[in-house]
Amino acid sequence: MVHAIREAECVDHVMKQLAAGRGGWIATVNLDHLWRLRRCPQFAAAYREVTVVVADGTPLVWASRLQGAPVPERVAGSDLIHSLTKAAGARGRRVFLLGGNPGTADAAAARLQAASPGLVIAGTCCPELGFEKSPARMAELRQQLASARPDIVFVALGAPKQELFIQTARDVLPQAWWIGVGISFSFVAGEIQRAPRWVQRLGLEWVHRLCQEPRRLWSRYLWHGPPFAARLFAQSLWRRLRS
């Protein structure tokens, strides 16, 4: 399910596919995604259409090593938004930022463009809550995306909404690459501080996030996360012992 590639390899693949006129979809799977995949048939169906799946979570990297089929490194959406836009800027590619809190996409776009002067911001949009339930609003967004003609679309709506949106909307831009990036616009814009690199390497970024947004994230990180991670590690070790 998870492709054993590094971040640089993922970026290189996207750029080569764009040059060849082929689009795709990157999913950054983490523990929360795995938990949802087992409980939401719609989410699982969307994931089956993904082109590239990368491990956005240190526990997934650890589990792959336990299983004896290691992925080389964590590839986080919050890192890809920087490396992909840098590569896109070097080639004059167009990107679109959809989602985030009001104003966050614009702020993130300004910072990304400042870091990569060749980058073309094709557009930004922060749709209102519940937009996905309105056929008329969805049609407007599809038209906006089609008119903007981006090469890469970053969708920051959180799981599973962003994946379900991409599944529904990506046919309007089959030559583009789509990626769900969760809270990444807020990281780029400086609204939320990302954990230091050493904390990320220790697999403790979730603690840093929990301290900043305890009310929103406590159930994910304290209720669902630990027991699901324990089962994942046990299953990974069992598969290796049986092989």
pLDDT at position 212 is 81
Domain ranges of the chain: 7-197
On whether the CB atoms of residues 128 and 136 are closer than 8 A, the answer is no
On whether the CB atoms of residues 108 and 172 are closer than 8 A, the answer is no
pLDDT at residue 218 tops 70: no
DSSP string, 167-205: HHHGGG-TTSEEEE-TTHHHHHHTSSPPPPHHHHHTT-H
Residue with tokens 């890809």: 80
Q: Which of 135, 125, 211, 119 is nearest to 168 (CA)?
A: 135
pLDDT in tens, 79-106: 999 999 999 999 999 999 999 999 999 9
pLDDT at residue 199 tops 80: no
Rounded Cα–Cα distance for residues 215 and 194 (Å): 18
User: 7-197 maps to which CATH number?
Assistant: 3.40.50.2300
Please state the rounded mean pLDDT for residues 14-20. Answer: 98
The band of 204, judged by pLDDT with boundaries at 50, 70 and 90, is confident
Least confident of 75-84, 144-153, 215-224: 215-224
Rounded Cα–Cα distance for residues 191 and 103 (Å): 11
Give the predicted TM-score (pTM) of the model.
0.93
Please state the rounded mean pLDDT for residues 163-192. Answer: 97
Joined together, the tokens standing for residue 78 give: 């919050």
On whether the CB atoms of residues 114 and 142 are closer than 8 A, the answer is no
